[in-house]
Amino acid sequence: MPEGQSVLSDDGRNVHFFDSSTDDMLGGVFQNGSITEANFIDMLNIVLVIEPQSPVAPRSLTVRARSGQTISRTSQPLTPGDYDIHVSDGHSMKLSDEPFVRRLLSYSISGRELDFKNGVRARDGKCVFTGIVNPRAHLNKWASWEAAHIFPLEKEGLWIANNFSRWITNADSGGHSAPIHSIQNGFLLKAGIHQLFDDYSISVNPDDNYKITSFIPDADGVDGRILDLVCRDPADPNRVSDNLLRWHFRQSVLGNMRGAGEPSFEHDFPPGSDMLKEIYEGPFPVERFEMELSSRLRGRERGQGLV
């Protein structure tokens, strides 16, 4: 593919990278324009593992476009195309086997999430990705604005096992609310943006000035925007957690760039459709069914019902 030409392959990505020693494709990404050469190198260091074959061999990763250009840590936008990954002598390279955390769309189902939703609305008042303000907030009308969890509710067991509560620095949500429901684990998004965020299709890099990256064609105009200050004001003790944003961004890179990428779950089940049949015919049916069941049981066990 000629340099600079943005052509989608069968996997929907316009950038691919290969092991230079074998010519095996290792993965790819869709470049809307916000991914810089420096971003690309950082992302490669998430999806690739470089292992020394001797304890004294210096580690080195070189990225070279097939047009001949060597990529370096610059703020220049990454040119769509094919790239070869070279590692220094004495090293081997493989795809990371870091677990990818699949998730459902997160919606409020219990009283704990009601506190979360109200807290996020009060702090943000707008979609923090698009900057669109809810003009009916003073009427308590929130149709199409949704409180999104950064770390998914249905993975609360994983949250506890990894002690992610250490990333919540302010007990803001009342004595009956667990840290996963802190508003530091969320922000306000437009409904469509919320679905893409939960699908890992868009994310925020707190280590790059809170830049938003869309890993799919950007129909909403958010790629390259900066996360709104209203949810991350350093002076606000309830500001969103950088560590949770960092976790989500890493998951998004793994899910979209590693190998062929992770499949998305279907969430549009019209009335009368056979939801169970579609789940079992879709990707990872057993895990999906377990997450759906866990999500519903969590609300009933707390005796709160739907909100």
pLDDT digits (tens, 9 = 90+) for 206-230: 999 999 999 999 999 999 999 999 9
pLDDT digits (tens, 9 = 90+) for 173-206: 444 457 999 999 999 999 999 999 999 999 999 9
Two structure tokens written together for 79 = 């040119």
Residue type, 87: V
Instruction: Output the CA–CA distances (angstroms, integers) from residue 173 to 4, 11, 233, 307, in the order listed.
Output: 49, 42, 18, 17
SS3 of 209, please? coil
Its pTM stands at: 0.83
Would you call 109 exposed, middle or buried from its count of C-beta atoms within 10 A (0-12, 13-18, 19+)? buried
Return the pLDDT at 277. 59
Instruction: Please state whether beta strands 202-205 and 81-87 pair in parallel, antiparallel, or not at all (unpaired).
Output: unpaired
Residue with structure tokens 């993965």? 27
pLDDT digits (tens, 9 = 90+) for 239-297: 999 999 999 999 999 999 999 887 665 555 455 555 555 555 555 555 554 555 555 55
Residue type, 61: L
What are the phi and psi torsion angles at 75 (to 5°)?
-90, 10
